[in-house]
Chains A and B, each alone.
Chain A
Amino acid sequence: MAIVDIRNLSKDFGGLKAVDGVSFTVEEGEIFGFLGPNGAGKTTTLSMLSTLLEPTSGEATVNGFDIVRQKDAVRKSIGIVFQDQSLDEELTAYENMDFHGRLYRVPPDTRKARIPELLRLVELEERKDDIVKTFSGGMRRRLEIARGLLHEPKVLFLDEPTLGLDPQTRNKIWEYVKNLNQTKNMTIILTTHYMDEADRLSNRVAIIDAGKIIAIDTPQKLKESIGGDIVTFKTSDNKAVLELAKGRPWFKSSKEDNSHVVLNVADAETNVADLVSLACGAGIAVQSISIHQPTLEDVFLHYTGKTIRTQEADPKDRMRRMRQMHGRR
């Protein structure tokens, strides 16, 4: 049985379709990656699945419960770690956990046993009686993850759980997540900006753009679906080289990314020489060239025509983030 079953789910915000007829299922015990640029509808979808938002149309069930008609049962079945922090900074780590346990009606004995155990898991045991205000970003994240696990949810939603964390902390968090998935058969649905993480962790990945699912499969199959290898080059006249390359049998597809051209090429190691000689023959200087196996990043570019990097550097988004941080003080 699918633990999450989404059928034609949509959400409008005053005419703006944030989520537009999304359908997919997630099987029990799966780690499911949800990828997309900012504003693609990832968080909106998670908000609907966690009953914080009501869908405009469509249906979804989580753990067999309807997200509109059986909100309480859905809420009991899920744990969620939000993109933005959601701890009470004036309480201690233990109190934050305890508060959560009480709200989810975890019996007192279970609470007392499980809180220290979970704090140990995220290596915050020694700081359990410290006020959260004194915690670093990574510690807060780990505490939030521990808190999300306290009521032993069937499905854990992680919305950008590693955003803004250093690589070491990120690795640690993913280790926990993977471990939980394996030992407790917990289903995990995550969104992340870090494609390598999504690739390494997820059993399956869905790519969403402008509110629509555009690809959904295992990371391996998605990468294969592009076909061939990735050749990225920069020359003094990108357009001319691209025109020349298009006539070749090894050419599959292309994308222009700022000053570079990204090509999908069959058997690139053999055929890259042909590409270089084409450029030289036309008297165009090759400034740089590289070959690599496709990554999810390339899959993303292939399907959306955008890279995650340019998304992150979006100035409006940076401003919003800064404003949020100022608003916190």
Chain B
Amino acid sequence: MDAVYTIWLRSMKRYVRSKSRMLGSLGMPLFFLIILGGGLNSMVDTGMGTSYMGFIIPGIVAMSVLFTSMFSGIQIIWDKQFGFLKETLVAPISRLEIMVGQTLGGATTSVIQGLLTLIIALLVGSGLNITPLGFLIAVGFMTLMGVAFTALGIAFASKMDDMHGFQLIMNFVIFPIFGLSGAMFPLASLPAWARTLSYLDPMTYAVQGIRYGLLGASEINPLTCLTILLAFTLATMLLGQYLFKKTKI
């Protein structure tokens, strides 16, 4: 457990120290919130009794978590390139401990980043009425999502030697996951074929879960969301651990 904590602690120190990165990654969610939320607020009927602005806040929070956690996982490539990974690999600790520590670190930063986004969104003005229980539910879903996608990022990073493949992951993994997740639109408004794709996207269930927490309503039963997200988290953890164990430096 010491080793897991140590690696988690390092992630936290790096995160707290990189204020520019912290602020920088709040830019995109804020942009989405103001441009899309502000621009479409009066034109879109969400069919859920909330304004469009209120509707996309959980989606944008989830987006923050997605981006931050995937990046945290992929950061292992930097450790590989800067040689720091060797220092951890040669220490008398198991790779499982390294992987778990890294995953928890990424999950923590992404939840913090998600909460910062939420605070900003509430300040921008949404008229959301969040109950304490609803808030905890949302944080729970954010945490699961953070763990799952950091682990997925580690899985990708374990197969990559440098940052060249990063653009590929950005365009063919992160954006599709975000786009299909229903973060920005109700699933009901999609044509049937696209909805099927959305149901295959694990982030859909995280968005729905967070939405249930923050708005009190969702299109998919929150327990279904929880079950599927738990299964997905377990699967990415296993995959990340498996690939990280085999990674060479």
Listed in ascending order, the chain A residues whose CB lies under 8 Å from chain B are 50-52, 71-73, 75-76, 80, 82, 84-91, 95, 99-100, 102-105, 131, 327-328
Chain B contacts of A99 at CB under 8 A? 6, 9-10
The 9 A-B residue pairs with the shortest CB-CB distance, nearest first, are: A86-B83, A75-B92, A103-B91, A102-B6, A86-B87, A72-B92, A84-B83, A76-B92, A86-B86
Judged by DSSP, the binding face of B is helix
Q: A43 to B165: give the CA distance in the assembly, Å.
A: 28
Most buried by B among A50, A71, A85, A99: A99
Whether B172 sits at the interface, judged by CB under 8 Å, is no
Return the contact of A52 from the options B2, B13, B249 (Cβ within 8 A): B249
Do A85 and B82 contact each other (CB < 8 Å), given the known contacts A90-B14, A95-B13? yes
Interface contact A103-B13, CB-CB below 8 Å: no
A-B contact pairs, 18 of them (CB 8 A): A50-B90, A52-B89, A52-B90, A71-B92, A75-B91, A76-B92, A80-B90, A86-B83, A86-B84, A88-B84, A89-B82, A91-B14, A99-B9, A100-B91, A104-B91, A105-B2, A328-B81, A328-B82
Min C-beta distance of B87 to chain A, whole Å? 4
Interface contact A91-B91, CB-CB below 8 Å: no
Q: Which of B79-103 contact A (CB under 8 A)?
A: 81-84, 86-93
Interface contact B83-A103, CB-CB below 8 Å: no
Min C-beta distance of B102 to chain A, whole Å? 13
Min C-beta distance of B152 to chain A, whole Å? 23
Min C-beta distance of A88 to chain B, whole Å? 5
Chain B contacts of A85 at CB under 8 A? 82-83
Chain A contacts of B10 at CB under 8 A? 88, 91, 99
Give A74's nearest chain B residue, CB to CB.
B92
Give A86's nearest chain B residue, CB to CB.
B83
Min C-beta distance of A70 to chain B, whole Å? 11
Return the contact of A103 from the options B3, B17, B249 (Cβ within 8 A): B3
Chain B contacts of A72 at CB under 8 A? 92
Interface string of B42-62 (1 = CB under 8 A from A): 000000000000000000000
Give A144's nearest chain B residue, CB to CB.
B87
Min C-beta distance of A66 to chain B, whole Å? 15
Whether B189 sits at the interface, judged by CB under 8 Å, is no
Interface contact A327-B83, CB-CB below 8 Å: no
Most buried by A among B82, B87, B91: B87
Min C-beta distance of B77 to chain A, whole Å? 11
Min C-beta distance of A159 to chain B, whole Å? 11
Do A102 and B90 contact each other (CB < 8 Å), given the known contacts A90-B14, A328-B82? no
